[in-house]
Structure 1
Amino acid sequence: MDLFARLAVTDLPRAVAWGAKLFGNVEAFAPNDVEHVWTLGDHVHVYAELLPQHAGHCAVTLFLDDAADFLAAAADRGLLPDSQEVYDNGVRKAIFLDPDGNEVGIGGAAA
């Protein structure tokens, strides 16, 4: 099984640039003129698709073993979370909003 999580966007080049800041140097490819795919792990992909009518209505959460390292690397690339949460059980979640308002959450277990 492969997982593809979609972010509907209004401007594909802008979304690709934003995704590069968030995801960093990961395998990526453009299967056609309206999609761009980032491969984040074995069989795990997030992709931007040019779908203006649906842009800003997507939410994706990635739960990582190394969330703190991921957040530090994104900050080094100039991207900081729009908000952060800590749940009662100690789980942390950083929320990034792309230029269209789609939410990409980065979660990690309690320290």
Structure 2
Amino acid sequence: MSFTHVLAVAPVTEMEAAVAWYERLLGRPADKRPMPGLADWHIAPSGWVSVFQSPEHAGSTLLNLAVDDLDKVLTDLAARGITAGEVQPGAQRVRFAAVHDPDGNRVTLIENPVS
């Protein structure tokens, strides 16, 4: 079996509020709005983040995004009105911090996820 893409989906209650938040998180508008209740950001050649209106599932997603410089990303996000929790150390040189969208879906930003 072969896969060509990974799509991480965050279910949300209120679509436009969520899209506005993810635009601030990702620093740009969605790449596609293919249908009502869906927005896609192509964040890597084969990796997408999708926001999907599904109130009954909202708030339960755990999304991890690898970043090159956690401190810079957190500074940039703070300037856009998104405040992260405390930076946590992981194994070896890994560090991470989490932010939460309006529904409580957790997006963890991870520096050095692979040694």
Q: TM-score scaled to structure 1, two decimals?
A: 0.88
Question: Unaligned regions of 5+ residues in structure 2, if any?
Answer: none
User: Counterparts of 1:28 and 1:84 in 2: how far apart (Å)?
Assistant: 30
Alignment: residue pair count: 110
Q: In structure 2, what is the equivalent of residue 52 of structure 1?
A: 55
3-state SS in 1 of match to 2:31: strand
Answering whether residue 108 of structure 2 is matched by residue 105 of structure 1, we say yes
* Inter-CA distance 91–38: structure 2 relative to 1 (3 Å threshold): same
**Which residue of the other structure, out of 55, 63, 77, is the alignment partner of 2:80?**
77
1:30 alignment partner in structure 2: 33
**Following TM superposition, by how much is the alpha carbon of 1:28 offset from its aligned partner in structure 2, in angstroms?**
1.9
Structure 1, unaligned runs of 5 or more: none
Question: Does the residue aligned with 1:74 lie in a helix, a strand or coil?
Answer: helix
Equivalent residue, structure 1, for 2:7: 4
| Cα-Cα RMSD | 1.8
Decide which structure has greater strand share: 1
- Structure number with greater Rg is 2
Correspondence for 1:20: 23
State the TM-score, normalizing by the size of structure 2: 0.85
**Runs of 4+ residues over 3 Å off in structure 1:** none
Cα distance in 2 between the residues matched to 1:63 and 1:48: 18
Q: Percent identity?
A: 29
Measured after TM superposition, the shift of residue 80 of structure 1 is 1.4
> What per-residue deviation string (whole Å, max 9, x for no partner) do you get for residues 86-110 of structure 1?
1242311110111111011110029
SS at 1:82 equivalent: coil
Structure 1's 101 and 46: CA in aligned 2 closer, same or farther, altered over 3 A? same
